[in-house]
A and B are shown apart, each in its own frame.
Chain A
C-alpha cells in the first residue's frame, strides 16, 4: 500500500491523531492488513456462506 493511500484510509478511519503522533505504527498496521488478505484462498462457490451461518430463531 503506498503512503498516500495509507494516509487516506487512516484519516477515513478517524486515525488522524495516531497518524500525527505515531506515523510508523500506522504504517506498520496498514502493512499488516495489506499482506494478510493475499494468503487467503477466495471461495470459488458463490453460495459459500460465512461462519456462523444465519439461522432464524427465537431472537429474530
Chain B
C-alpha cells in the first residue's frame, strides 16, 4: 500500500480515501496515523475532542488494513475515520453531552447511526465537543472548554455540533456526525465553511442519541464536500422500528443526481428572510445574490418565494423545543441546577414557564406553517436562502454571541422537517466563512445534493480550507 505524505492525507475526502483504500493505494493505518498527528498538533488550540480514542481507532485501522489487503471490504466507508458528537452513544466511551451532569456516563451500546457507520466500514476516532446538552454554549463554565473555529481560533465555530464542524474543517477527520434541533448541524457548517445536512425528519434514527426535543431532533452528516455528505447519509439513513419518529418508508440513492447540474430545476429564492425579516450583513447578502446568479447561469430557473416570517418560525421552534426539553431536564434542574452551565440553565428553565396550552398552540401553528412551505414546493424544486446572517463572531464576546445567535434562517426547517443543507457561500473580507442554505422537499435529499454539488463546482468551495497549521 502507498504511504501518502501527511500534508496530503489531511484534506483527502471520505470518497477519495475510501476509493484509495479499496484500490489498495492507501493504508488505513497511515491515514489514521497522519490524522492523529494532526490532532496532537492542532487540537490543543481547537478543543474539538472531549474523548479521543486513539488506541481503539488505531487498532480498528490495522484491522481495516488487513481486511482491505485480503479484499474484504466492510462497506463504502471502509477504513475512513469519523468523529462523533458527544451526545451520540459510542459503546464503551462516555456520553457526557459536554456537561458535569453526565460526567462518567459510559454508553453500553452504539447509537443506531454509529452502528450503521461502523457497518459501512468507518472508524470512530472519538467524541466531539458540543454546546452543553446541544443547547448551552459556547460556555466557559463547563468541565471542558468550547471548540474553536479553525479559520480563526478567536472566533466561534458555531454550535451545537461545534467539535464536529471545527474538526472536519481543520482536517482532523473527513466526516463527523452532528445533531440539529434548531440548526445545530448547519450553524457549525456555516461558521466553519463545510457541508452540513439536516435530513428529512425521521430519515435517520434517533435511537442512542441524547434527546433535546423529541419532535425537532435530527441527526445529520458533516463533511468537507457534497459527495461525502451523500455517501454518509446513504450509510446512516433508513427505517428503525424502535424509533417512534422513524419514517416508515425510507429509500433513496442519494448520490444519484450529483453531477446532473441544475438545468431545468426551479429554485425559489427566499429573499425576505435576509432582506426584511432579519437583515443580513452586506457581505452575506452579496454572497447569496452571487449564488443565485451563478445557479441561473448554470441553467436553473430562479424566482422569489415567500414563506412565513423568520420571527414566527423562531418563536414556534422555541416554544416546542423548550417545552420538550423541560420535560427531559426538569428533574435535574430541580435538584442540581448548579451542575449546569449558566447558558443551559437559562435556556432549559424557560420551559417551566410555558403552559400546556402554549405548547399545543405552537404545534397547531406548526402544521399550518408546514402547509405554507409545502405550497411553495408546488412551485419550485429547491429553496435557496440564508443560513447565518453574519460571519462567525468572536467566541470571547458574550454580547456578540447573543446578538448573532438568533440571526439565522435554520429553525424554519426544524419546525417543518424539510431537509436543509448549509455550506460555504464565500469568504468575508476578514477571511471568515459566509454561508447559504438549500432546502428540499421531504425525502428528496438527492435533489438537494444535486444543487449543492452544482454550487460547489461553480464556486470551488471544496478547494477552500482554513489556513491553520
The chain A residues found within 8 Å of chain B, CB to CB, are 1, 6, 9-10, 13-15, 17-18, 21-22, 25-26, 28-30, 32-34, 36-37, 39-43, 48-53, 59
Bound together, the chains give a CA A6 to CA B316 distance in angstroms of 22
**Cβ-defined contact, A40 with B362, below 8 A:** yes
How many angstroms between the C-alpha atoms of A7 and B311 in the bound complex? 28
Instruction: Please give, as numbers and ranges, the residues of chain A lying within 8 Å of B224 by CB-CB distance.
Output: none
- In the assembled complex, B256 has its CB within 8 A of some CB on chain A: no
Smallest CB gap from A49: residue in B: B367
CA distance A30 to B45 in the complex (A): 37
Chain B: minimal CB distance from A18 (Å): 4
Which residues of B are found within 8 Å of A14, using beta-carbon distances? 330, 334
Measured CB to CB, the nearest residue on chain A to B326 is: A13
In angstroms, how far is the closest chain A Cβ from the Cβ of B243? 13
| B468 at interface, CB cutoff 8 A | no
Instruction: Bin the interface of chain B by size.
Output: 35 or more
User: B25 at the A/B interface (Cβ < 8 Å)?
Assistant: no
Residues of A within 8 A of B363 (CB): 50-51
CA distance A26 to B334 in the complex (A): 12
Given contacts A14-B334, A33-B322, A50-B360, contact A25 B345 (CB under 8 A): yes
Contact yes or no, B346 A40, CB < 8 A? no
User: Contacts A36-B354, A39-B312, A48-B364 given; 16 further ones with Cβ under 8 A?
Assistant: A13-B353, A14-B330, A17-B334, A17-B337, A18-B333, A18-B334, A18-B345, A21-B337, A22-B337, A25-B342, A29-B349, A29-B352, A32-B353, A40-B312, A41-B365, A51-B370
A42 and B363 CA atoms in complex are apart in Å by: 11
Please measure, in the bound complex, the distance between the C-alpha atom of A25 and the C-alpha atom of B342, giving whole angstroms. Answer: 7
**In the complex, how many angstroms separate the beta carbon of A17 from the nearest chain B beta carbon?**
6
Residues of A with C-beta under 8 A to B366 = 50-51
Q: Are B312 and A41 in contact (CB under 8 A)?
A: yes
Cβ contacts under 8 Å, B368 to chain A: 43, 48
**B361-391 interface code vs A (CB 8 A; 1 in, 0 out):** 1111111101000000000000000000000
Contact of A52 among B215, B337, B353 (CB under 8 A): B215
Instruction: Determine if A29 and B215 form an interchain contact, defined as CB atoms under 8 angstroms apart.
Output: no
Judge if B335 is at the interface, Cβ distance under 8 Å.
Answer: yes
Residues of A near B345 (CB, < 8 A) are 18, 22, 25, 29
Q: Give every chain B residue within 8 A of A28 (Cβ-Cβ).
A: 346
Binary CB contact string for chain B from 246 to 277 against chain A (1 if under 8 A, 0 otherwise)? 00000000000000000000000000000000
- Could you tell me the distance between the alpha carbons of A40 and B361 in the complex, rounded to whole angstroms? 9
The yes or no answer to B396 lying at the interface (CB within 8 A) is no
18 A-B residue pairs with Cβ-Cβ distance under 8 Å, sorted by A, are A9-B352, A14-B334, A15-B334, A22-B342, A25-B346, A26-B349, A32-B350, A33-B350, A36-B318, A37-B315, A40-B365, A41-B312, A43-B365, A49-B364, A50-B364, A51-B363, A51-B367, A52-B215
Complex CA–CA separation, A48 to B360 (angstroms): 11
